[in-house]
Structure 1
Amino acid sequence: MAGFSSQNVVVEETISATTSTKQSYVPALISLGVLYFMMGFITCLNDTLVPFFKNSFTLNYSQSSLVQFYFFLTYGIASIPAGKIVERIGYKNGMVTGFCIAALGALLFFPASILHEYYIFLAALFVLALGIVMLQVAANPYITVLGPAKTASSRFTLIQGIGSLGTTVAPIFGAHYILSGLTEQQASSSDAVKYPYLGITALLLIIAGTVYVLKLPQIKGGSAEAAEQDIDQNRGVLSFRNLKLGIVALFFYVGAEVSIGTFLTNYIADTLSISEAAANTYVAFYWGSMIVGRLFGAVILNYLKPSSVLTFCGIAAMGLIAISLSTGGSIAVWSMIGVGLFNSVMFAVIFSLAVNGVGKYTTRASGYLSTAIAGGAIISYSQGLLIDHYNWTIAFTLPLLCYLYIVFYGINGYKTNK
């Protein structure tokens, strides 16, 4: 089983020496679970905003997908700077800062809804995403070093499973509080998002305060001797083959996952001839299936090679998309929803395989990998253009091709220089 090298990262205990290391990780892992729940909830709520803004501002598919474009573009712009900030202020302070910035972005929804301007909403989403980027860059490597290196993929998948609760709740929340009045609202108002995002603002600030007062294990860079023996120091972090190809794999994975989730409400509504509000409840099953997949994956990744699991999941995702596009009705809908089950472990596996052996470059590698999350912007916007100019079949061929590269990474791309 491919492992994650954390040999050059040191965990400093902040509690009594009489307490076991395993016990000291519990508060940290719980806080990370809450963090991932909120990241999943906020990110997935964008899937509700796409059809909402499409109707409220009378947009086409590509224009409405700017919600995802500006949100995920932030990863491409801010991830590397965020990685440097986290290196300077530490993982805990990085998470607190991320929650506060995200709260500011959510708060900006209030004036945006009063003025009813689409581009102000996009600016608010950009700020919100800055906070999520900081959280992602701080949390991902933190998870991987809080325990044995060989179980990094399993531990990461388990925490993401908790985060999947947020992605499952978000479509139900959005359907009830945002899309339920869509027919009446049309282009006259965006008040439906005003108070839900005020509530999110308050919750984010409460979590930020809670994390701030918690005593969490401190992580710092350790000896770099092992890493210096493995790589040419003049080439730096991008000298790792598995990392370079992993950045591309993560770009395509996030692009495929986000683009499917972004347009799934409209795809289901068109396929089953139902309203967007009714179709949006189906999206909960797409994200909810990730809970099952991640909890199951957290177990099987202790026994199977992560690369083999990734390859299988990539092939399964391609097959389900092909079935959906070649059929109709409920079969087409549930086949596309089923892709979420096989998406479940991909991020964790790609991330852990990509940082395998990078040693002291772990935090910087996390910044580069988080930059690749910009695939959610590029792929979803590109798919929106394809829907506007062609049809659903051609548009969903794009994520299918993304999964094809992921299959390559699981077969060969994950292999290191050694």
Structure 2
Amino acid sequence: MSRSPAAVRADSLNPRDTWISLGIVGTLFFIFGFVSWVNAILIPYFKIAFTLSNFDSYLVAFAFYISYLVMSVPSSYLLKAVGFKKGMMFGFFAMAIGAYIFIPAAMGRTYEVFLLGLFTLGTGLAILQTAANPYVTILGPKERAAQRISIMGIFNKGAGILAPIIFAAVILRVGDTGLFQQLETMGEVEKNAALDELISRVIVPYAVVGTVLLALGVLVVFSPLPEIDTEHETPEVAMANSGKTSIFQFPHLILGAVAIFLHVGTQVIAIDTVIAYADSFGIGLMEAKVFPSYTLAFTIVGYLIGISMIPKVISQVNILRICTILGTVFTLSIIFTSGQVTILGITSDVSIWFVVLLGLANSLVWAGIWPLALDGLGRFTKLGASVLIMGLCGNAFMPLIYGYLADLYNVRLAYWILFPCYLYLVFYAAYGHKIKRWTIA
């Protein structure tokens, strides 16, 4: 029952089947990105519709991503029991339920019900991510894993560029800028009526999303995606792991999970806070809505660099080191630089563009960590992948810490939270991934 009878070894697939499999998984990554990165618009949107503080508005990210902490390990056991494809079907069905929960939440304008819907969406994504990421890591040569993950990243972040723009186009109106300004002066009855109308705009989009997700859940079962045998070990790996009984006996994996936690936290802060940061300089939502897309566009630039250069020009571990150092430099630039610039027709403080440039710094960190952290796990691969997916709960906690610091100090100084994160990522890239056993002095 540990794996499907039809499971095959990744190295037994011919090139055609490998690329078909990667194409299907790429579609999954597009869906991950679309559903995940729409939060960049939901956060400021809900902040207005429910008159929230910075901290409370980032509960959107918390509710969505805390599900990864709760569901990742159960997801690995689900995948062992029913296989990758049926597991993915259950993931899509859970996401569809989460999307449908938005309908009663909007009808009652109840923030807590929206958070339940977001948690349910995240639960489905946790299952899908636990299945999809090992596929990409093991379908092909180990030294090209970062290159394959970069290709998947283009699907993911390409959807992330489209999601805020499409969602904003669907739910925002030309006259909303004036409406947002008038809310403070409205009477209670008039204000509630305006906010009810504002929040009701999510009903149709999420009803459509839920239906599409249901259909995808059915389609994935009948897709040509093969069941991959992750239990097989080479003789060398089997010998190295012969005395190991626990996932905690792989330090490079555990340290990698911490790295994933911090990396995704820095990534979501760069994308989900940039609109609020622009607002602090007087740039309204209607104009600032493009900044998350710019951040993701720089991420795609990084992916393209990775695809073209790994491993022919530079190794995946060295490009990981470069990206983590860049993140450290850009963080300090956000905090310590200032001055007006006009870029792409938008006049803003130069520090906003360093937030945008974090997209480039973050681009190849995920791709660099995964193959290093899963290296040599053999039969522990599924569970190891679920531990790394648990690290995605960094998306839940890090924005809350940022929001707390923003309320306590200001939105610029709150970016200090990124600095120790990038320092740890530099450590993992330089040394942490090499630690194969715990040593006690």
**TM-score, with structure 2 as normaliser:** 0.87
Contact 1:41-1:167 at 8 Å conserved across structures: yes
Relative to 1, partners in 2 of residues 1:251 and 1:182: Cα closer, same or farther, differing over 3 Å?
farther
| Residue 261 in structure 1 maps to residue 294 in structure 2 | no
Paired with 1:22 and 1:385, the residues of 2 have a C-alpha distance of 49
Paired with 1:295 and 1:94, the residues of 2 have a C-alpha distance of 31
- Residue of structure 1 aligned with 2:331, choices 321, 326, 350: 321
Contact 1:231-1:239 at 8 Å conserved across structures: no
- Residue of structure 2 aligned with 1:311, choices 321, 325, 336: 321
- Residue of structure 2 aligned with 1:218, choices 227, 232, 237: 227
Instruction: Tell me what 2:343 maps to.
Output: none
> Match for 2:332: what amino acid?
A
Contact 2:143-2:316 at 8 Å conserved across structures: no
1:176 deviation in Å?
1.6
1:258 deviation in Å?
1.0
| Residue 364 in structure 1 maps to residue 383 in structure 2 | yes
Contact 1:260-1:399 at 8 Å conserved across structures: no
1:245 deviation in Å?
0.8
Instruction: Tell me what 1:386 maps to.
Output: 405
1:104 deviation in Å?
1.1
Mapping for residues 16-95 of structure 1, pairs under 5 Å: 21-95=14-88
Relative to 1, partners in 2 of residues 1:228 and 1:22: Cα closer, same or farther, differing over 3 Å?
closer
| Residue 408 in structure 1 maps to residue 427 in structure 2 | yes
> Match for 1:388: what amino acid?
D
Q: Percent identity?
A: 31
Paired with 2:369 and 2:171, the residues of 1 have a C-alpha distance of 34
Mapping for residues 13-412 of structure 1, pairs under 5 Å: 21-180=14-173, 182-183=176-177, 184=179, 188-189=195-196, 190-220=199-229, 221-223=231-233, 225-231=235-241, 233-271=243-281, 273-303=282-312, 304-328=314-338, 329=340, 330=348, 331-412=350-431
1:230 deviation in Å?
1.0
Contact 2:24-2:225 at 8 Å conserved across structures: no
Paired with 2:166 and 2:292, the residues of 1 have a C-alpha distance of 11
1:235 deviation in Å?
4.3
Contact 1:179-1:276 at 8 Å conserved across structures: no
1:374 deviation in Å?
0.6
Paired with 1:136 and 1:395, the residues of 2 have a C-alpha distance of 30
Paired with 1:182 and 1:46, the residues of 2 have a C-alpha distance of 19
- Residue of structure 2 aligned with 1:11, choices 8, 13, 16: 8
> Match for 1:88: what amino acid?
A
Higher relative contact order structure (alpha carbons within 8 Å, sequence separation ≥ 6): 1
1:179 deviation in Å?
4.0
- What SS does the aligned partner of 2:280 have? helix
> Match for 1:367: what amino acid?
S
1:233 deviation in Å?
3.2
> Match for 1:239: what amino acid?
Q
CA RMSD of aligned residues (A): 1.9
Paired with 1:49 and 1:216, the residues of 2 have a C-alpha distance of 33
1:323 deviation in Å?
1.6
Contact 1:168-1:285 at 8 Å conserved across structures: yes
Worse-superposed segment, 326-335 or 285-294: 326-335
1:292 deviation in Å?
1.6
1:394 deviation in Å?
2.2
Worse-superposed segment, 298-307 or 130-139: 298-307
Contact 1:224-1:360 at 8 Å conserved across structures: no
Gapped regions of structure 1 (runs ≥ 5): 1-9
1:202 deviation in Å?
2.1
Contact 2:330-2:357 at 8 Å conserved across structures: yes
Contact 1:76-1:372 at 8 Å conserved across structures: yes
Contact 2:68-2:391 at 8 Å conserved across structures: yes
1:48 deviation in Å?
0.7
Paired with 1:226 and 1:101, the residues of 2 have a C-alpha distance of 39
1:100 deviation in Å?
1.4
- What SS does the aligned partner of 2:8 have? strand
Instruction: Tell me what 2:345 maps to.
Output: none
Paired with 2:25 and 2:130, the residues of 1 have a C-alpha distance of 12
Paired with 1:224 and 1:155, the residues of 2 have a C-alpha distance of 22
1:12 deviation in Å?
5.0
Contact 1:227-1:360 at 8 Å conserved across structures: no
Paired with 2:19 and 2:238, the residues of 1 have a C-alpha distance of 33
1:321 deviation in Å?
2.1
Worse-superposed segment, 211-220 or 181-190: 181-190
Paired with 2:297 and 2:219, the residues of 1 have a C-alpha distance of 27
> Match for 1:192: what amino acid?
R
Which of structures 1 and 2 has the bigger CA Rg?
2
Paired with 1:295 and 1:99, the residues of 2 have a C-alpha distance of 29
